Amino acid sequence: MKKLITKKDLILLFVVLLAGIVGIVFMNSADEGKSAEIIVDGKTTEIISLDEAYEKQINGVVICCEKGEIYIKESNCPDKVCMRSGRISKSGESIICAPNRVAVKINGKKGNLPDAITG
């Protein structure tokens, strides 16, 4: 009679679970952002501190910052995907409203370092 689960299956399961746990730990260890870039038509128009209250309308999008988080409060775009993105606060996170050509990007404590360098 053949076994349903072999020793190799258990080792593979352990490796996959370990990789998943390590991935979750690294994703949750992102540093809290210090500032946010407001990008309109591909150009940075403002850099704001996440420690200060902020509300401004830009290209039909109302951007709000409070309690260290930034989010899109209102938008005149049809799908409102930017509003459903929720509040962001960790370095590297972003919200993009493509129809209004507005993006918000969180910058971290270490600055804007690349994820990887090739070449």
Q: What is the pLDDT along the chain (119 residues), one digit of tens a residue?
A: 677 888 899 999 999 999 999 888 777 665 677 899 999 999 999 999 988 899 999 999 999 999 889 999 999 999 999 999 999 988 889 999 999 999 999 987 654 445 556 65
Tokens encoding 5: 């689960």
Q: Is the pTM of this model over 0.85?
A: no
Domains, the chain, with CATH or none: 35-107 (2.60.320.10)
**Which residues lie closer than 8 Å to 106 by C-beta, 6 or more apart?**
33, 35, 36, 50, 70, 88, 89, 90, 91, 92, 93, 94
